Amino acid sequence: MTDTRCDIVGLGTGPAGSAAARGLASLGYAVLCLGQIRSPETIEGISERVVKALQHQGFTRALCVLSEPIPRHVLWNGAASAANTEYLVDRQQFDAALIEDLQQHGVTVAQDWVSSATDVGDAWQVTTQTGKRYSGQFLIEARGRRASSDAPCLRRGPETVAMGVKWTIPSAEIRPAGVMAFSHSNGWGWVVQDGRGMAFTQLSMAAERAAVKASQDAEAFIRRMLSDLGTANPLPGGAYPAEAAHYRGSTALLHDAIGTRNKLRIGDAAMAVDPLSGNGIFQSLSSAMAAPAVINTLLQRPQDSAMALQFYQDRCEHLFERFSRVGRDFYQQIDADPVSDFFEQRRNWPDQQPSHVQPDRVLGTAERPVINDGFIERKTVVITADQPLGVWRVNGQDAVELLQAKQRD
């Protein structure tokens, strides 16, 4: 067997692996990504912030497969609201488009299933199911929730599973495109209609309950849950499943030791939040967009490795805790009496600290690592109660200078 060599091998070509590979290629590294597009088919929703991040990365093909913004309705704890819009993403189409974008940006992609990744001292050796072998100086672990687990989790939320089903809607019952998130007695759900005859239902529930449901009639179960919504039930009566139900683990988890001198976990492989926070792809992109500067520092300025790794670990932990608390706040809104075990467990996790400190207060300035020009470097930043890791720049301007100007006024 001959090796295909490169500087950096990326495992996984989802949003995180793609964004990190793109960033590293633009820093001049030869990057090779190995990934198999995930199955089964699933629909996800993304916000304007993700669209902006994709534009910033030059993922033009991926942007082309997004839907138009779709109105989002919420029925939570019995209260209805029409909050905002979201863009729908068919993940198989989206991930295929990300691969095309990567290739356009000079990243080599091999669509193959990774069997093993071994650190042989001065390089990583990766083998695939089709018997190919690749090697590189640095390894990016971006296989999402399926990433190998070489260290215990630092934090792990209540065990949760989401059951997803795609439905076909008869033409007489097609309604305008819309998304609805709702709470039910033992969990919460998300229903999409694309306005063209496809619906997607996703019910999140405690893992032990999902194990029972998997052995029963999923279709009847979903219909029963949705019929509890009465006239707000978004699934037309004539809809029928286009495929068997699939189950995805959606437990919030944060890995320990997410970086070493020659390996970095990014995206869901580093930390995966509860989809109720609705930001999974955004958070994956956030950790992935910081990764090129961290890896560049590890490879080019090894004397700064400890600082770069600490910066990355702190950033992931901070994001994870913030969004876990955002999810907890939604669970706390359920005031059924008695509240079911599902909500009881989740309304107290991860802790009782606020998700945002309001009003925000400036606590002072301090030296902290930041991303600057492709590296992690120490700069003086402004520390606030809500941003304990510090703010270095605000709209391109130095935050410390802005603070000093404000104090002079």
Ligand X SMILES: Cc1cc2nc3c(=O)[nH]c(=O)nc-3n(C[C@H](O)[C@H](O)[C@H](O)COP(=O)(O)OP(=O)(O)OC[C@H]3O[C@@H](n4cnc5c(N)ncnc54)[C@H](O)[C@@H]3O)c2cc1C
Least Å distance, CB 388 to ligand X, is 24
SS3 content of the chain, % helix, strand, coil (to 5): 35, 35, 30
Residues in Cβ contact with 386 at an 8 Å cutoff, skipping those fewer than 6 apart = 356, 357, 358, 360
CB of residue 202 vs ligand X: minimum separation in angstroms? 6
Q: How far is the CB of 98 from ligand X (least distance, A)?
A: 9
Cβ proximity to ligand X: between 4 and 36 the closer is 36
Give the burial string for 256-274 (b: 16+ CB within 10 Å, else e): eebbeebbbbbbbbbbbbb
User: Least distance in Å: CB of 22 to ligand X?
Assistant: 12
Minimum distance, C-beta of residue 190 to ligand X, in the bound complex (Å):
7
Q: What whole-number distance in Å separates Cα of residue 246 and Cα of residue 367?
A: 48
Identify which of residues 255 and 368 has a Cβ nearer to ligand X in the complex: 255
Looking at residue 123, the DSSP 8-state letter turns out to be: S
CA atoms within 13 A on the CB side of 329: 11
Contact positions vs ligand X (CB under 6 A): 12-17, 34-38, 44-46, 95, 113-114, 142-144, 146, 162, 202, 248, 250, 267-269, 272, 275, 278-282, 284
Rounded-to-integer distance, Cα 152 and Cα 254, Å: 9
- Shortest distance (Å) from residue 145 CB to ligand X: 6
Residue 259 to residues 76, 120, 214, Cα–Cα distance (Å): 38, 17, 36
Cβ-based nearer residue to ligand X, 195 or 249? 249
Q: How far is the CB of 61 from ligand X (least distance, A)?
A: 16
Cβ-based nearer residue to ligand X, 50 or 75: 50
Nearer to ligand X, 46 or 298 (CB): 46
Closer residue to ligand X (CB): 274 or 377:
274
CA atoms of 155 and 152, how far apart (whole Å): 9
Comparison of 35 and 234: residue with beta carbon closer to ligand X: 35
How near is the Cβ of 409 to ligand X at its closest, in Å?
A: 40
What region does 291 belong to: left with phi over 0, alpha with psi -120 to 50, or beta?
alpha
137 vs 3: CA distance, rounded Å:
13
Q: Note whether 75 and 180 are within 8 A (CB).
A: yes
C-beta closer to ligand X: residue 202 or 384: 202
Q: Which long-range contacts (CB under 8 A, 24 or more apart) does 212-218 make?
A: 213/163, 214/163, 214/245, 214/247, 218/163, 218/165, 218/244, 218/245
- Dihedral sign computed on CA atoms, order 167, 172, 173, 175: positive
Residues in a beta bridge with 72: 179
